[in-house]
Amino acid sequence: MGRRGKKKGRPISGWLVLDKPVGMGSTEAVSKIKWLFQADKAGHAGTLDPLASGMLPIALGEATKTVPYVQDGAKIYRFTVAWGDERSTDDLEGPVTKSSEQRPSEAEVLALLPKYTGVIMQTPPQFSAIKIAGERAYDLAREGETVDIPAREVEIGRLDIVEHSGDHTVFEVECGKGTYVRSLARDMGRDLGCFGHISELRRVEVDPFTAEDFVTIAELEAARFGQQDEENSESENAADAVETPVDFTAIDALLVDTSAALDCLPQIAISDDAATKIRLGNPVIIRGRDAPVEAEEACATARGKLVAIGAIEQGMFKPKRVFAG
């Protein structure tokens, strides 16, 4: 017998802005969304730890080509630091490694915030996805090794106190790519002399998406299965059940258009003829009084649909990454 080919998914494209629940890993979430949409391709724009909740932008189909632009976007987190204990993982998952009876006042915490605002040097946690000599730091840490992770530059746009109650402080931070919130908790605890770790973490925004774009697993499942034919699904004799086509209309309506990830780029409107040439890999002359003459990166659209990402040189759009029509 010949080998049965792997079933191919649907060529559906767009962004799903998932409100990831606590306990679900990012890879698990992507697999769940890919299965619900029966998509042929899926990926996420920035890992969210299983103990964290909140925004996990998941790209389907052609949207996977725009993942780097979302990864580079600013992020906003709401997080709680529990004072008194430092843990091996800098969150609730690991055992306590250092303790203190001291607790900071709100004034002491507030006075520390300027040190953690702006461009700062930050050392990632021992339990992180940073690669050390080709291996993930968390794999080495789980084997009991203490690895030397070099500090790196990250940018903190703002760091605010939301609530303070002695044993805990709730913060909101707006930060750039590569920032570890767990490191913020660890380092602030050390500076305050009381130690600290993350007890709750929620990502509330990933530019260009906002909380208005959130979709939960329950909403997705309701959209996917809410109109299912109950008679067929409950049939006692599977052989007699009639296989009906799946209606993806409701769940597909929850997607954000692929082009939303490219709001950061200059937008160039082109004709259908130009779009055809670009999709074949050919450059086209950009027309229009307001069209830029030069741009390292720009986004070309036709009839509001994404066509390509490319460079504009001497008034000519040269495609670098083309999207299916």
Round to the nearest angstrom and report the end-to-end CA distance of the chain: 38
Helix orientation angle between 217-225 and 26-37, rounded to the nearest 10 degrees = 20
CA dihedral 23→27→30→36, nearest 10 degrees, is: -70
Which H or E element spans position 277?
A: helix 272-279
Give the active site residue among 19, 40, 49, 290.
Answer: 49
**What is the rounded distance in angstroms from the CA atom of residue 177 to the CA atom of residue 46?**
9
152-164 vs 118-122, strand pairing mode: antiparallel
- Annotation marks residue 90 as catalytic: no
Specify burial of residue 14 (Cβ count, 10 A radius: 0-12, 13-18, 19+).
Answer: buried
**Contacts of residue 102, Cβ cutoff 8 Å, sequence gap at least 6:** 84, 192, 193, 194
**What is the rounded distance in angstroms from the CA atom of residue 300 to the CA atom of residue 312?**
10
**What is the rounded distance in angstroms from the CA atom of residue 216 to the CA atom of residue 220?**
6
Active site amino acids? 49
